[in-house]
Amino acid sequence: MSNITVWFIKSAMVYFVLAMFVGISMTVAGPLYPYKPIHTHLNLLGWMSMMIYGVSYHILPRFSGEPLWSDRLATIHLWTANIGLIGMIAGWMAAEFGGGITVLHIFSLIEGLSVMFFVTNMFMTVKAAPAMKKPMSK
Ligand code: HEM
Ligand code: HEM
């Protein structure tokens, strides 16, 4: 497994545990702002997206028989996805406790950029696999 895959999967596990704690606390406190969007995005951008990123970097180049288009872009993706998400969480806290929405806005843009880095890398990597020479037997 590449370092990118390992670190995305490790990040996903950490966000899953954090999301679970926020979720459990909401079963008592209710779906209060900012805890609901924090729980949602720890789960959906942290746990689910990062798991998908990690697995995609491992599997999709192998499926298409091509090397990953850019290792450098994947590294930038790993950093921006994590910095963006952690900053968004800080941004939701800041928005609730009097800090305005600037932090959320800036880190949302960074998270959005990270998505574009992943999409670009995958678009450039995924190619139709060559046709099989022999049909599969029944
Ligand atoms: C231990 C695991 C979890 C616990 C204890 C938990 C708990 C909660 C609670 C209490 C709420 C607020 C519900 C309400 O509106 O009253 C909530 C909302 C939500 N949870 Fe979880 N959750 C867990 C796992 C997950 C997972 C794995 C996902 C997604 C992959 C997820 C996605 C969401 C979303 C999207 C909402 C917001 C729904 C809305 O807009 O009303 N949760 N969760
Ligand atoms: C760059 C990435 C993303 C940004 C900047 C972003 C931003 C936001 C914001 C600002 C809200 C409103 C929260 C509020 O004030 O209550 C929101 C809600 C929501 N987002 Fe995202 N989001 C992103 C990615 C995603 C993804 C990938 C998913 C699902 C796979 C998702 C699912 C949701 C859901 C279900 C809600 C409504 C539930 C809630 O209130 O938390 N978001 N998002």
Q: Is residue 10 part of a domain?
A: yes
Domain total of the chain: 1
Considering only CA atoms, which of 124, 27, 128 is closest in space to residue 77? 124
The answer to whether position 18 is within a domain reads yes
User: For residue 66, what pLDDT band results from cuts at 50, 70 and 90?
Assistant: confident
**Residue 131 is assigned to a structural domain of this protein:** no
Ligand 1 and 23: CB distance under 6 A: yes
In a domain, 134, yes or no: no
Lining ligand 2 with CB less than 6 A are 36-37, 40-41, 44-45, 49, 108, 111-112, 115
- Is residue 22 in a domain? yes
Percent of the chain with pLDDT over 90: 83
Residue 134 CA to ligand 1 center (angstroms) comes to 48
Q: Do residues 3 and 53 lie in contact, with contact meaning Cβ atoms separated by under 8 Å?
A: no
Report if residue 53 sits inside a domain: yes
User: Is 133 within the bounds of a domain?
Assistant: no
- Whether the CB-CB separation of 39 and 18 falls below 8 Å is answered with no
User: What is the domain range of residue 79?
Assistant: 3-125
Q: Could you tell me what percent of the chain has a pLDDT over 70? A: 93
Q: How wide is the angle at C-alpha 114 spanned by C-alphas 48 and 112, nearest 5°?
A: 90
Q: At what angle do helices 71-96 and 102-125 cross, to 10 degrees?
A: 160
